[in-house]
Amino acid sequence: MPPKFSTAHKRLLRELKEITKNPIDGIIASPLNDNDLFHWRCIITGPNDTPYEFGIFEAILNFPSDYPLSPPTMKFLTPIFHPNIYKDGKVCISILHSPGNDPLNYESADERWGPLQSIEKILLSVSSMIADPNPNSPANIDAAVLWRNNKDKYNETVKKLVIDSLSL
């Protein structure tokens, strides 16, 4: 873990204060414990008017020691069936991809991570991604195929996981 007053530590502390002062609707995020700003627990509620609505999805954000120069990683702990979330829960979204040009030329450099991004922007982007999947860049092929070919079955699968997320 970096020293307490590293650039990363100061930035994470500033972002924590901002999120505490101005909470994001439907999202809770904070460090796992008071002694470590580099590992956060997040709760994201399913966006309204989507099959994820009413779901409660827990995730972990892990920040590198050179944050904000490099992006954090995000992984859902609650099972979530989504084209842009790997089966192990790891989130695949442009804002969390390393800065610079995409070697596959799929996304532009300005869509990828940059030091001006923030925890708030990450969480809002992930919430938006949950509501509006990108099946053309899938992390979960099965979810992407089902989303494209059989939306009813896709929605049914998602809604079952939503119920499970509520432990009902």
Query: Which residues are the active-site residues?
Result: 92
167: phi > 0 → left, psi -120 to 50 → alpha, else beta; which?
A: left
Contact 40, 118 (CB under 8 A): no
Backbone angles phi, psi at 45, to 5 degrees: -85, 145
Rounded to whole angstroms, the Cα distance separating 101 from 97 reads: 10
